[in-house]
Amino acid sequence: MRALALHPDVLVLTSAVLGVNCVIVWGAVEDAVAAGGEATQGGGEASEAGAEASEAGAERTLGETFVIDSPVLPDELDALPALLAQARFPEPSGLLATHGDWDHLLGRLAFPGAALGCAESTARRLQASPGEAQRELRRFDEELLIERPRPLALGSVQALPVPGRCDVGERELELHPADGHTPDGMAVLVGWAGVLVAGDYLSTLELPTLSDGGDLDAYLATLERLRPLAAGAEHVVPGHGPVLDGAGALAVLEEDVAYLLALRQLGSEAELPAGRRGQVQRARHAQNVAAL
């Protein structure tokens, strides 16, 4: 698992499988900011994030921390508490999931006492299909011969109004609708840090994918909602794959729009974006055609 500091208040952890990104956000309280002063922005390893935090003073541990989405492997999840402590982030007061796919819901395996928040659309999806995430996780683990010390229990799920805002410490996260890939979801804008957490959109590794219940027109509408957010962001974190700057994310967005429009018009003959034409992505393209 790779850990990078995008901002003194934001870490991104990338799982060794599926390239899933987990984002950790620290929301300051005014006392902590006054004591620690302003830290410089930039990327680096988790240890660098810890050094920056240490320079900000012991009051760094004040405030709240949210964990958005999750890594996948058991040892990665086990390492999360130590990584947060190293970076001098408080223990998470809450978990957020951008949508209801199983690989974004594993935070409670690392922090079983933390509440899970998600968009109202995701809460409805989880309620309508109880046990779906657990079944998908078991299937994944069986294929890769992965053993976990305990089963996934989502516990009580807090439905958040989207569009809306969510407090973290004395900061605010913006929540934006992000359906189309699935029938549910949200993107999270960490405005003060210039970070957009896009969910399963804007990936350089994956085609736009219409999963079960996904919708092409809704996907296009989500991309248009993400356009101004990505344009104003310093970092854009897709659900899977490398973190992008704003310009890079907009380039992917344009490729995705062109692909989806061609998919609607040409079906199986639609051209796939450059760099996303491998065997797996062609199989996903066939799934998209079948979903039309």
Q: Residues in the chain with pLDDT < 70?
A: 30-61
Per-residue pLDDT tens digits for 99-137: 999 999 999 999 999 999 999 999 999 999 999 999 999
pLDDT score, position 250: 98
pLDDT score, position 63: 86
In whole angstroms, give the CA distance from residue 160 to residue 166. Answer: 8
**Quick count: other Cβ atoms within 10 Å of Cβ 245?**
14
pLDDT score, position 31: 55
How far is CA 70 from each of CA 61, 78, 107, 213, rounded to the nearest angstrom?
Answer: 22, 11, 5, 22
All structural domains of the chain with their residue ranges:
2-291
**Quick count: other Cβ atoms within 10 Å of Cβ 251?**
16
pLDDT score, position 35: 45
HSE of 73, CA atoms in CB hemisphere, 13 A: 14
- Produce one character per residue of 47-65: b if its CB has 16 or more CB atoms within 10 Å, e if not: eebbbbbeebbebbebbbb
pLDDT score, position 156: 85
The 8-class DSSP code of residue 108 comes to: H
CATH second-level architecture of 2-291? 4-Layer Sandwich (3.60)
The 8-class DSSP code of residue 63 comes to: S
